[in-house]
Chains A and B, each alone.
Chain A
Amino acid sequence: MSEALERSLDRLSRVRGVRGSMFVAADDGLVVGQLLMEGVNGKAVAALAASLARKVGGAAAATGAGQLSFVQVEATAGTLLLAPAAGDLLVVALAEPQVNVGLCRLEMMRAAEAVR
């Protein structure tokens, strides 16, 4: 992973409440690069995030919303954030429920830009 990508993950992981951030190959759900807190299963997060992104992407197309740019899954005990990036990658962040989603989103968009 390039230095620019590492830096972008580092910035994302510094957002309060973020437990892990990663670049994931969207087609097979494999980890490309990651920065995780202890106890976070990176492989599982990557695989599930890629699968969910495919489903939500299909739904967005079916509903006429077009191509995805950001997905936020809010659950009772945490939040999963996804942002498609160039090269068929996904930027993924796993966070606490109270995370500042706006700030995360900005950092994830920046990370997605860094892939170009």
Chain B
Amino acid sequence: MAEDIRALSAALAGNPASLVYADLAEALRRRGDLEQALRVAKHGVARHPEHADGLDCLGRVYSDLGDLARAAEAWGRALALAPEHVGALKGMGFALYRRGDARGAEEMLARAVAVSPRDEAARRALETVRRAFDAAPLPPAPSADVREAPVPARAAPSPPSSPSPAESAYQPEQREAPHRGGTGAAEPAPAAASPDSEAGPTGAGSPETVAALPPVFEGFEGATADILLLDDRGLVVAGGLRGGDGRDVSELAAAALAGVSGEAGRTARYLALGEWRTIVAEAADANLVLAPVGAGAMLLVRRDRSMPVGLTLRVAERARGAASLWLERQGA
């Protein structure tokens, strides 16, 4: 890979107007050199603002950097130029899903599957999204002749482009899962938006945000209103939390809770207390139990003060088991 990067860098240095910048940015991204990848991709896109592959690559770099809003903007620009761009469709599907818009994500991924029916990653992502809101399952895998299926999208023709890093290298499984840093190996993250997303001016999502999350805590009281699974970067993974007025406060809570996990770990280490297992917080209006779930994820269970703390702890232990099992099944 280092040699590829050297060769691509040399090619770009030899011809700064070349479209090879997209391949170079993609190679840098795959190596984990995200800052450099961003510089190359931004520079290239500035020079070639109508290069859909470059915009798709820029979207992936932003996504890896955790800036989903900018990633979605780049993929949106790519799709405006090339509505059938599979990489951008998958990227936009991922971004919408992370934002809690499962139906929008389904539309994008269905378009990606229609354009590229043999793209297994897109199919798996689409199935994941559909499972998230109990939509009808996919029909059996299409045969080769379905590749020409019409695409339910804008009919503008795609401009000619260089070999697409999106199609040659990028697969949605390589996007980061919500509980991981960098590039992970999971299906599109079954999570709601990140704190800096466009869910709303207060960070609160729509009611659909919670409904679209995977039913990890099915059978638990308050499965989507009082139990939240989040990652250590403050992103929602599953469950949901509602405020007293019924609004979804999952994202706000996840952002605040991520700091608690780090602080608890630091405190336990400094005081030679070992690994922290639970934090019980009794408060004026509710009791909270926080517990780590594997590496990089944390569970919150909120219960009314009328429920004894010991019972809340038992509920949390069961919920932790369910979350742990579910994460294992996701390969996370």
Contacts and interface: CB of A to CB of B under 8 A. Distances in A.
Q: Do A and B come from one complex?
A: yes
Interface string A69-89: 111111111111000000000
Contact of A56 (B241, B243, B270, B281): B281
B260 A64 contact: no
B237 interface: no
Contacts of B300: 63
A78 B252 contact: no
Interface string B263-306: 11011101111111111111111111010000000001010000
A5 B244 CA distance: 37
Contacts of A64: 241, 243-244, 249, 285-286, 302
B253 interface: yes
Contacts of A65: 281, 283-288, 302
Contact of A66 (B253, B279, B283): B283
Contacts of B256: 58-59, 61-63
Interface stretch (A6-14, A30-38, A47-55): A47-55
A102 to B, nearest CB: 9
Contact of A69 (B241, B277, B279, B282): B282
Given A52-B260, A63-B256, 19 more contacts: A56-B260, A59-B253, A59-B288, A61-B256, A62-B249, A62-B252, A63-B300, A64-B285, A66-B284, A69-B282, A69-B283, A70-B281, A71-B282, A73-B273, A74-B278, A78-B268, A78-B273, A78-B274, A80-B273
B263 A55 contact: yes
A107 B201 CA distance: 44
A59 B257 contact: yes
Interface of B: 241, 243-244, 249, 252-253, 255-257, 259-260, 263-264, 266-268, 270-288, 290, 300, 302
A59 B281 contact: yes
B284 A58 contact: no
11 contacts: A44-B270, A52-B264, A59-B257, A61-B256, A62-B252, A62-B253, A69-B282, A73-B267, A73-B273, A73-B279, A79-B273
A104 interface: no
Nearest to B255: A62
A73 to B, nearest CB: 5
Q: 3 tightest CB-CB pairs across the interface, nearest first?
A: A76-B274, A66-B284, A77-B274
Contacts of A71: 279-282
A72 B276 CA distance: 11
A44 B104 CA distance: 50
Classify the interface of chain B: helix, strand, loop or mixed.
mixed
Contacts of A114: none
B276 A75 contact: yes
Contacts of B287: 65
A91 interface: no
A44 B302 CA distance: 30
Contacts of B249: 62-64
A11 to B, nearest CB: 20
A22 interface: no
B281 to A, nearest CB: 5
A73 B264 contact: yes
A68 interface: yes
Contact of B267 (A52, A59, A68): A52
B124 to A, nearest CB: 33
Contact of B277 (A58, A59, A74, A94): A74
B286 A75 contact: no
B260 to A, nearest CB: 5
B281 A60 contact: yes
B275 A76 contact: yes
Contacts of B272: 77-78
Nearest to A68: B283
B248 to A, nearest CB: 12
A76 B283 contact: no
A72 B268 CA distance: 12
Contact of B273 (A51, A63, A75): A75
A52 B263 contact: yes
B144 to A, nearest CB: 51
